[in-house]
A and B are shown apart, each in its own frame.
Chain A
């Protein structure tokens, strides 16, 4: 089958399923979200899934994602998930609020959102659309521009997701941990979480999104996340992606920052067969800060593509980006980070770095830093390195009697330390360190 006919076939599959999906929405077909769905559905009819001819998808072939006719999870048979299943997956050792989504649908009974501070609205976006539609409608879809077919597919089939809003001056001390459990033993599922993170003036919160899968059929997680930070707000998002080996995972995140706000994103990829993240921030006020940190660990034939766009629209802002990866076996990585500085965004400080270690001859990374600067008084730097574990450092460690395999693990830990060290929840750091060695099949140190 040719690529273009596959492209048409899969779109026809999703388009033809829409009527059935719509008929099962019951009262929800009157909601604001449904207007978004219908609009997206119409646009999807005229929008092709991206191919490698598209500059933004040059190194990522999405054909494997288009080969299967995934069934929207909302109309699929339900997967039974128990509290034990959640406990196996949740990051522990610290206090947190807990939201659980099974194939993208919120589970009230498995979640624990008790005792949220006053002024915080957090929970299932579907439920909140019924109970407090005005607060959700204020944000949903407001930050999405230039949607591609995947984003449209999310919009067309989105029914649920995370909603967190903190009102002016409210600081949520405990992080909110969101456990996604995805997949089915019998059906190929399309899972379409739709997330909103919004912090009003001086408000602060942290969210840990913990994406996990069950052993079974291949599934496709296709997420859209929108972030809104008002003056002096702070949001931290820790994305810990542990999807099943045979899963596809695509997320598009668009974050809008107003003056003196700080957005920090920690994007850690372990799972998934094909992974694509688009993490975009737009600095729309003076003195705001965008921090994008990432780690990616590839083994077997995983394909992990991280794209980012940091748009400096106002003067005196700072952006930091540090992405590091370790690729083993025949895994493949892509990094494409773009920094855009508008003409009047003077006194911009923008830093970007991408470093990758290849542990095998068959592993590969395509890295492409891009600067597009129209202001003249800016400090911007970017750099990319690709290498192997440092021979001299390796010799130093084994010359102390440390066995070769353990020495390599020490070097891996040393390599990722500056990114892992930025996560200020210590038990989470320890669990991530553990996962790194487990995922790369290496001795733990």
Chain B
């Protein structure tokens, strides 16, 4: 689904990604782990088209297209979705208006019909139930007055409603208590299918108990320094990031 080749990116002249290579296929879940400042959130943001970062090299092929050449809007319409680490509040715009607008824009792009009010309500009620959200949130302004956990839940609500091909989850677990973590994970697991893929970015192994990845990659200083199966996450949890860094040093002596 997505092939990232030698991706380099910087912000304000400082290089943050220094040659990322990653391939994700349909049906797979990849976890990207790493210490703070390793570049994992940057990677998720760049794939979604955040222009705060400058791409200085490399390529990204997504469903056979040049992803980096597409506007953020078109990426979304082609099925890329980023669940934000810090979701934004939009006063004056209800969740219903926001989601309906997004769904219709995506449908329009693919030459489809607008969603009917009935279809939309049925869909949103169904998703709200999965996430243990009340119907009343539908008419509340996007994320306004929501707690940190509710905002994260609302991101997953958007994920389920927009049903993308590639979901990028940026620290979706941060700020969640264990109950909220379970609900959010269940939402992501409901989303998983043979047709889509998930790249989740996290600092902690905890989330991976609930969303079990097929691959785990460790990012450090803008490079993937180790890849493995789900057991790599447990090993990381036990030994800490320093373990890999020192292992790397032995493999690649300066």
A contact set with B: CB distance below 8 Å: 390-393, 395-404, 406, 410-411, 413-414, 416-418, 420-421, 433, 445
Contact = CB atoms under 8 A, between A and B. Distances in A.
Contacts of B11: none
27 contacts: A391-B51, A391-B52, A392-B52, A392-B88, A395-B49, A395-B51, A395-B72, A397-B98, A398-B49, A398-B71, A399-B48, A399-B49, A400-B76, A401-B73, A401-B76, A401-B77, A401-B105, A402-B102, A404-B71, A404-B73, A406-B105, A410-B90, A411-B90, A414-B90, A414-B92, A414-B93, A421-B92
A421 to B, nearest CB: 8
A163 B249 CA distance: 84
Interface in B44-86: 48-52, 71-73, 75-77, 81-82, 84
Contacts of A392: 52, 88
Identify which of A398, A416, A421 gathers the most chain B CB atoms within 10 Å of its CB: A398
A403 B92 contact: no
A396 B71 contact: no
Q: How would you classify the secondary structure of chain A's contact residues: helix, strand, loop or mixed?
A: helix
A400 B98 contact: yes
A404 B98 CA distance: 14
Contacts of A410: 90, 92-93, 98
Range of interface residues on B (Cβ < 8 Å): 20 to 34
B91 A417 contact: yes
Given A399-B82, A400-B102, A393 B141 contact: no
B145 to A, nearest CB: 12
Given A401-B102, A401-B109, A413 B73 contact: no
A437 to B, nearest CB: 12
A39 B49 CA distance: 68
A18 to B, nearest CB: 49
Contacts of B76: 398-401
Interface of B: 48-52, 71-73, 75-77, 81-82, 84, 87-93, 97-98, 101-102, 105-106, 109, 141, 158, 162
Given A399-B72, A400-B158, A402-B105, A417 B98 contact: no
A445 B73 contact: no
Contacts of A402: 73, 101-102, 105
Contacts of A411: 90
A193 to B, nearest CB: 33
A392 B162 CA distance: 20
A413 B91 CA distance: 7
Contacts of B162: 400-401
Contacts of B48: 395, 399
The 5 A-B residue pairs with the shortest CB-CB distance, nearest first, are A417-B92, A401-B76, A417-B91, A400-B102, A413-B92
A445 B93 contact: yes
A403 B102 CA distance: 9
Given A401-B105, A406-B101, A396 B91 contact: no
A393 B50 CA distance: 11
A410 to B, nearest CB: 5
B55 to A, nearest CB: 15
Contacts of B90: 393, 396-397, 410-411, 414
Contact of A396 (B84, B97, B101, B106): B84
A406 B109 CA distance: 15
Contact of A420 (B77, B92, B93): B92
A403 B74 CA distance: 9
B253 to A, nearest CB: 41
Nearest to B86: A392
Nearest to A420: B92
Contacts of B72: 395, 398-399
B144 to A, nearest CB: 9
B92 A416 contact: yes
A396 B88 contact: yes
A397 B98 CA distance: 9
B37 to A, nearest CB: 19
A45 B200 CA distance: 76
Q: Which residue of B51, B87, B93, B158 has the most chain A CB atoms within 10 A of its CB atom?
A: B93
Nearest to A395: B50
Contacts of B75: 399
Nearest to A407: B73
Nearest to B52: A391
B212 to A, nearest CB: 27
Given A395-B72, A403-B105, A406-B101, A414 B77 contact: no
Nearest to B105: A401
A409 to B, nearest CB: 10
A418 to B, nearest CB: 7
Nearest to B168: A399
